[in-house]
Amino acid sequence: MARTKVKLAFIVNDAARKTTYNKRKKSLLKKAYEISTLCGVQACAVIYGPYEAQPEVWPSPCEVQRVLSNFRAKPEVIQTKQMENQETFMNQRVLKAKDKLKKLRTDNKEKEMTVLFDQCIYAGKLVKNDMSVVDLNYLGWLIDHKLKDLGRRLESWDDCNNVQIQSQDQLQLVPLPPPPSTNEEMTMMNHGHVALPINNTDIIEREFFMNLMMNGDGDDTIPFGEVDPGVLPNLLP
């Protein structure tokens, strides 16, 4: 997270990996210490690296053993219940992630179209070579949207200045259908056109795991261990 953004994937270079390992190990243990201190909770962390014979732990080996003993001492029924809870939790995450993805796609599409729109204004003409019907439709919706906004602004401006301009002098707004927003509609209508990067399914899949885990928006690569984006982590023994 500095100088350059690093892809979240196994670091091939040995020296770089060791350097990163040492830095991040220190930081991870610090974070464990901080949440424990700030929130007054028990926490522990264990890291097995190839560089030390024994795992690095926080806060101390015996304390880790104590925390873990507590966990393992739970009746198996409760542990199973916990795992089920976690699975439910993960499923909720999936739903939320999907919603968020949909919203992101919509937002991105709108941004793309805004750029296109600005280019049209600047060039004075519409370069439509690599635009799909869907995109053209969306662009039309955006222009309609902007015209409506302009109309509103004119109206309030008129109100503020008590100008005599009446509705016949105002912009004629041509109603257009709202833009397609779901992935299914996009896909169905996208035949034979160059797809814009935002529709790339690979990128969407790579986001899956981290959205799941962190509810974040990272564009990271598939994580260590070749997680299949279509399969939930197996939470049962």
Partner DNA sequence: CTGTCTATCTATAAATC
Partner DNA sequence: TGATTTATAGATAGACA
Residue 11 or 198 having the CB closest to a copy of itself:
11
Please tell me the distance from the alpha carbon of residue 193 to that of residue 9, in angstroms, as a whole number.
32
Q: Find, among 215, 218, 213, the residue nearest to 233 by Cα.
A: 213
Nearest one of 177, 84, 102 to 134, comparing CA atoms = 177
Phi-psi label, residue 172: left if phi above 0, alpha if psi -120 to 50, beta otherwise: beta
Identify the helix (H) or strand (E) that includes residue 215: none
Partner interacting with residue 174 (select from DNA, a copy of itself, none; CB below 5-8 Å by kind): none
- In whole angstroms, the minimum distance from the beta carbon of 51 to DNA comes to 7
| Tokens found for residue 172 | 């004629």
b/e per residue 149-166 (b: at least 16 CB within 10 A)? eeeeeeeeeeeeeeeeee
Q: Pattern 178-217, binding to DNA, x per CB under 7 A? A: -------------------------------------xx-
96 touches, from a copy of itself, DNA, none (C-beta below 5 to 8 Å by class): DNA
Give the one residue of 9, 10, 22, 133 binding DNA; rule: CB under 7 A. Answer: 22
Based on the shown chain and the rule CB under 7 A, indicate whether residue 15 belongs to the binding site for DNA.
yes
Residue ranges in contact with a copy of itself by CB under 8 A? 6, 8-11, 17-18, 20-21, 24-50, 53-55, 57, 59-62, 64-65, 67-68, 70-72, 74, 78-79, 82-83, 85-86, 213-216, 223-225, 233-237
Helices 201-214 and 76-123 sit at what angle, rounded to 10 degrees?
140
Footprint of DNA (CB under 7 A): 1-6, 15-16, 18-20, 22-24, 26-27, 30-31, 34, 96, 100, 103, 215-216, 218
